[in-house]
């Protein structure tokens, strides 16, 4: 059984004037210990998907239909107590801004001890020892000293390490990390990613890494989901997606990277920009920006199909596959 | 032969931390002593920016990149050192004297959401500097200029009566650039202009900057964390650590043969698309906060090659045979 399976998930925003669709028919699975990435431009719906998995999507957003199963248990049908249990013990979240999780008026140590003691009945002294051990585990130097410091006394990189330490305390099955290194420096980014990777690997924790940086993703995730305007448009092994992207949007994202053009040459920009929820175009939502768009793309929604190694929602790819299939038939 | 536009020598900047008068007194060795903490953000920066080049400055958070930019722009005064624009000294000017240079030198900031005035339409944002610096222009000439400028950064002139919040991040950053370009400067300082933007939008803004540079022989001082952007866009790269430049080299040379131990660590840390890059060189610890003026090499605390000399004397910038300059004793001594 899959550890997590999301199927045909629709998330809407209920606005005064209209009903806006934020996630449309999103499906994917996650196995125990597997690491997947969700990529796409800002506004694609990555964070909404991250929040939806733990049913944390706030008003005016709500899960309209679909299913999110943690093993055999349906998350969309859980009551608050069951959800808190899932969020505390089985699925942990890490955000871009560590201060979203850390309490500015409590010391690092008190926060960790509180986390431990809310789950296990042990003495303060024992909890303190565990906390210090975890701080050590996430490579924080002189953890005894840090234990008594407040979040603002720590650098961004150190705060993110503290978050990872507190996530480790919960011993979760899944970590959802929403742009965990975007606010950090390149050198520190690399260290935090390495830490996250090691911890997931060593403890068999599954990871959902949300990022807009394909360079970051290629280092960590085995599989990648590309999102555009609330849809998953491509899904497959990360290396396949990076070396042989099928969907025109994925191709565009990769081609826009500076390393895809000779130094000093103009970069390949994707024209236009991600539509807002209210302005989502008909048919394939990417068609106004797609160099291959046809009449059909403007009217109909392409289905998600398996193309051999990855799955893609694009008429161009679909037509190509059909052509191959027909050729094969003619030959035989 | 490159023409030096901006020359910076021995630049230092210390911020005194704003502690109250009372807390500045410390009891030490049986006496009260006045002790003022300060942060040494720049500790002797020497740098020349040539006409028509893009000089990228890279380095970790807090190493002094933004401070360098602000000192050059005259937004804060240096504690020591000199800055020249062509042959004129510009670090000690009063506001009136600075006016001329405001026109020649412009700045684009990291956050396109904060750097545009939310209560001014795009038209107002642009007409103010244009009219101010060109009092001879008639209103219709100003309008013409605004339209042309907006079109040139890919914003429809029809949307000039809209407010910043009605534009996307990339559009806002292009409007910031239009504002900087509006006074026809020779030199633009851009402090992380891309970091709030998606790759696709970054490409738009970078392309625009390259176009404008070609059109007007602009010089850029470009501050960024993104080494892929540096590799693509820079003419030369300055690597900064704790308020000093530790390596300065033509872009290709820097990426092909980084020399300073810090540059080597920095380059090995870039996440790249190909998965078989070497293991990143792990640096121990994070950048220290420069509360004391550093003695010796600024990198000593994290450097695997540090020896006694590194703790005592600061290594000077030395020109290497391939055109790069490096400040490191180990390289000079042939240990590295
Ligand atoms: N107004 C100020 N008062 C006190 N300290 C300051 C002030 N401005 C900057 N500093 C300090 O000076 C040092 C250099 O800061 P600066 O903003 O130049 O760093 P930076 O290299 O631009 O970093 P980042 O990559 O995070 O933008 C830091 O230690 C910073 O905390
Ligand atoms: N509370 C909300 N009300 C209305 N629209 C929202 C809300 N939160 C997010 N959205 C919209 O949903 C879309 C996807 O958002 P998000 O998941 O945050 O994108 P990403 O994380 O991929 O950048 C965007 O168009 C965003 O503006
Ligand atoms: S379906 Fe059509 S518009 Fe959409 S990505 Fe494919 S070719 Fe482009
Ligand atoms: S001068 Fe010494 S401490 Fe500084 S980088 Fe060179 S070897 Fe390291
Ligand atoms: Mg997001
Ligand atoms: Mg800065």
- Residue A268 is predicted with a pLDDT of 93
Q: Is B301 on the interface with A (CB under 8 A)?
A: no
Give chain B's mean pLDDT. 87
Place of tokens 């990417």: A286
Residue B6 bridge partners (DSSP): B49, B85
In chain B, what residues touch A157 (CB-CB under 8 Å)?
286
Q: Is residue B336 scored above 90 in pLDDT?
A: no
Nearest to A215 among B231, B271, B285 (CB): B271
Q: So what's the ipTM on this one?
A: 0.78
Whole-number Å distance between alpha carbons of B275 and A293: 32
Residues in chain B with CB shorter than 8 Å from the CB of A239 are 275
As a whole number of angstroms, the distance between CA A146 and CA A157 comes to 13
Q: pLDDT > 90: what percent of chain A?
A: 64
pLDDT of residue A218: 86
- The closest of B62, B110, B241, B243 to A156, measured between CA atoms, is B62
Q: For ligand 1, is residue B287 a contact (CB within 6 Å)?
A: no
Average pLDDT (A314-322) is: 93
- What is the average pLDDT across B231-249? 96
Q: pLDDT higher for A327 or A25? A: A25
Tell me which of A12-26, A77-91, B24-38 is least confident. Answer: B24-38
Of B52, B88, B101, B72, the residue nearest B11 (C-alpha): B72
| CB < 8 Å & 24+ apart, contacts of A235-244 | A235/A28, A235/A304, A235/A310, A235/A311, A235/A312, A236/A309, A236/A310, A236/A311, A237/A309, A237/A310, A238/A37, A239/B275, A240/A309, A240/A310, A241/A310, A242/A214, A242/A218, A242/B273, A244/A309
Contacts of A186 in chain B (CB under 8 A): 60, 225-227, 266, 269-271
Q: Is pLDDT of A294 > 90?
A: yes
Instruction: For residue range B94-122, list pLDDT tens digits in order.
Output: 888 888 888 899 999 877 667 788 999 99
As a whole number, mean pLDDT of residues B131-142 equals 91
> Which pLDDT belongs to residue B282?
67
Q: In CATH, what is the architecture of B4-99+224-332? A: 3-Layer(aba) Sandwich (3.40)
Cα Rg, chain B, nearest whole Å = 22
Q: At residue A207, does pLDDT exceed 70? A: yes
User: Is the beta carbon of B43 within 6 A of some atom in ligand 1?
Assistant: no
Q: Assign residue A229 a region: left if phi > 0, alpha if psi is -120 to 50, beta otherwise?
A: left
Higher local confidence (pLDDT), B226 or A319:
A319
Q: What mean pLDDT is reported for chain A?
A: 91
Cβ of A155 within 8 Å of Cβ of B286? The answer is yes
Instruction: Give, in degrees to the nearest 5, the angle at Cα A87 between A85 and A89.
Output: 60
Q: Residue B271 pLDDT more than 80?
A: no
What are the structural domains, with CATH classification, of chain A? 4-331 (3.40.50.300)
* CB distance A13 to ligand 3 below 6 Å: no
pLDDT of A185 above 90: no
Give the ligand 2 atom nearest the CA of A59. Answer: 1
Indicate the SS3 state at residue B319.
Answer: strand
Backbone angles phi, psi at B147, to 5 degrees: -60, -45
Set of chain A residues whose Cβ sits within 8 Å of the Cβ of B232: 258-259, 261, 263-264, 267
Q: Which token pair is A52?
A: 């939806």
Where are any strands of DSSP class E within B88-200? Answer: 88-89, 105-108, 187-191
Residue B143 banded pLDDT, cuts 50, 70, 90: very high
For residues A157 and A188, the answer to whether their CB atoms sit within 8 Å is yes
- Rounded to whole angstroms, the Cα distance separating A189 from A182 reads 8
Task: Estimate to the nearest angstrom the gap between the alpha carbon of B95 and the chain centroid.
Answer: 22
- Can you point out the beta strands (E) in B1-154? 4-16, 25-28, 31-34, 38-50, 54-58, 80-85, 88-89, 105-108
The answer to whether the Cβ–Cβ distance between A190 and B271 falls below 8 Å is: yes
Instruction: Give the nearest partner residue to B60 out of A185, A214, A258, using CB atoms.
Output: A185
Task: Return the SS3 of B159.
Answer: helix
The residue that leads in pLDDT, A169 or A249, is A249
**pLDDT at residue B285 greater than cutoff 70:** no
Query: What pLDDT does B278 receive?
Result: 55
Residue that wins the pLDDT comparison between B100 and B32: B100
Per-residue pLDDT reduced to its tens digit, A262-285? 988 999 989 888 888 888 999 999
**Locus of tokens 């209560």:** B119
Residue (of A214, A40, A221) closest to B271 by Cα position = A214
CB B70 within 8 Å of CB B41: no
Query: Are the CB atoms for B247 and B327 separated by under 8 Å?
Result: yes
The response to whether residue B65 sits with its C-beta less than 6 Å from ligand 1 reads yes
Greater pLDDT, B98 or A210 = A210
Which residue did the predictor score with more confidence, A319 or B277? A319
Predicted pLDDT of residue B272: 67
A122 touches chain B (CB under 8 A): no
- Choosing among B199, B241, B251, B274, which should be mutated to test the A contact, i.e. which has the most A CBs within 10 A? B199
Q: What is the pLDDT of residues B288-316, one digit of tens each?
A: 777 777 889 999 988 999 999 999 999 99
pLDDT at A240: 93
Give the atom of ligand 3 at the shortest distance from the alpha carbon of A298.
Answer: 3
Nearest CA to ligand 3 atom 6: A314
Region of A25 please: left (phi>0), alpha (psi -120 to 50) or beta.
left
Q: How far apart (Å, rounded) are the C-alpha atoms in residues B108 and B223?
A: 10
**How much of chain A, in percent, has pLDDT values that exceed 70?**
99
């Amino acid at each position: 059984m899959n550890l997590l399976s999301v199927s045909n998930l629709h998330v809407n925003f209920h606005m005064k004037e209209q009903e806006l669709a934020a996630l449309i028919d999103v499906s994917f699975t996650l196995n125990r210990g597997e690491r997947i990435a969700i990529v796409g431009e800002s506004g694609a719906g990555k964070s909404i998907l991250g929040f939806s998995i733990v049913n944390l999507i706030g008003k005016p957003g709500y899960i309209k239909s679909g299913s999110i199963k943690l093993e055999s248990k349906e998350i969309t049908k859980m009551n608050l107590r069951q959800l808190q249990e899932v969020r505390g013990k089985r699925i942990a979240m890490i955000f871009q801004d560590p201060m979203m999780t850390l309490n500015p008026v409590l010391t690092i140590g008190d926060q960790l001890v509180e986390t431990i003691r809310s789950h296990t009945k042990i003495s303060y002294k024992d909890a303190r020892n565990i906390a210090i051990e975890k701080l050590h585990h996430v490579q924080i130097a002189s953890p005894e000293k840090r234990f008594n410091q407040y979040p603002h006394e720590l650098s961004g990189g150190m705060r993110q390490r503290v978050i990872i330490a507190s996530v480790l305390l919960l011993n979760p099955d899944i970590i959802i990390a929403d742009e965990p290194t975007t606010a950090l420096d390149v050198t520190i980014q690399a260290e935090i990613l390495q830490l996250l990777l090691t911890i997931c690997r060593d403890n068999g924790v599954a990871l959902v890494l949300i990022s807009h940086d394909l360079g970051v993703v290629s280092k960590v995730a085995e599989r990648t989901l590309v999102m555009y305007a609330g849809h998953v448009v491509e899904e497959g092994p990360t290396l396949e997606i990076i070396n042989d992207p099928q969907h025109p949007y994925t191709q565009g994202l990769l081609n826009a990277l500076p390393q895809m053009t000779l130094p000093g040459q103009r970069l390949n920009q994707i024209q236009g920009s991600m539509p807002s929820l209210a302005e989502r175009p008909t048919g394939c939502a990417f068609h106004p920006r797609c160099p291959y768009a046809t009449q059909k793309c403007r009217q109909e929604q392409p289905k998600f199909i398996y193309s051999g190694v990855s799955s893609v929602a694009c008429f161009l790819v679909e037509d190509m596959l059909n052509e191959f299939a027909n050729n094969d038939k003619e030959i035989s | 032969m490159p023409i030096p536009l901006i020359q910076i020598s021995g630049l230092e900047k210390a911020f005194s931390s704003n502690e109250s008068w009372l807390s500045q007194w410390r009891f030490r060795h049986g006496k009260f002593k006045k002790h003022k903490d300060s942060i040494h953000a720049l500790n002797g920066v020497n740098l020349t920016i040539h006409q028509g080049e893009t000089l990228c400055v890279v380095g970790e958070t807090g190493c002094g990149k933004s401070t360098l930019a602000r000192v050059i722009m005259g937004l804060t005064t240096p504690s020591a050192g000199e800055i020249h624009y062509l042959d004129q000294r510009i670090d000690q000017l009063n506001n009136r004297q600075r006016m001329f240079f405001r026109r020649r030198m412009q700045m684009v900031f990291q956050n396109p959401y904060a750097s545009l005035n939310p209560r001014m339409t795009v038209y107002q944002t642009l007409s103010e500097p244009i009219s101010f610096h060109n009092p001879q222009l008639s209103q219709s000439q100003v309008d013409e200029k605004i339209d042309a400028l907006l079109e040139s950064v890919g914003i429809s002139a029809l949307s000039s009566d809209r407010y910043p919040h009605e534009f996307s991040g990339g559009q806002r950053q292009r409007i910031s650039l239009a504002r900087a370009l509006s006074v026809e400067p020779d030199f633009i300082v851009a402090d992380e202009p891309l970091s709030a933007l998606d790759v696709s939008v970054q490409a738009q803004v970078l392309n625009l900057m390259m176009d404008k540079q070609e059109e007007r022989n602009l010089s850029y001082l470009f501050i960024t964390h993104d080494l892929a952007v540096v590799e693509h866009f820079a003419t030369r790269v300055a690597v900064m650590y704790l308020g000093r430049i530790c390596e300065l080299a033509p872009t290709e040379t820097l990426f092909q043969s980084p020399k300073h131990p810090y540059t080597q660590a920095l380059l090995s840390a870039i996440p790249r698309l190909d998965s078989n890059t070497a293991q990143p060189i792990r640096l121990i610890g994070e950048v220290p906060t420069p509360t004391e003026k550093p003695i010796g090499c600024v990198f000593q605390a994290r450097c695997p090659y540090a020896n006694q000399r590194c703790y005592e004397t600061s290594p000077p910038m030395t020109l290497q045979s391939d055109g790069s300059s490096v400040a490191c004793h180990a390289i000079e001594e042939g240990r590295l």
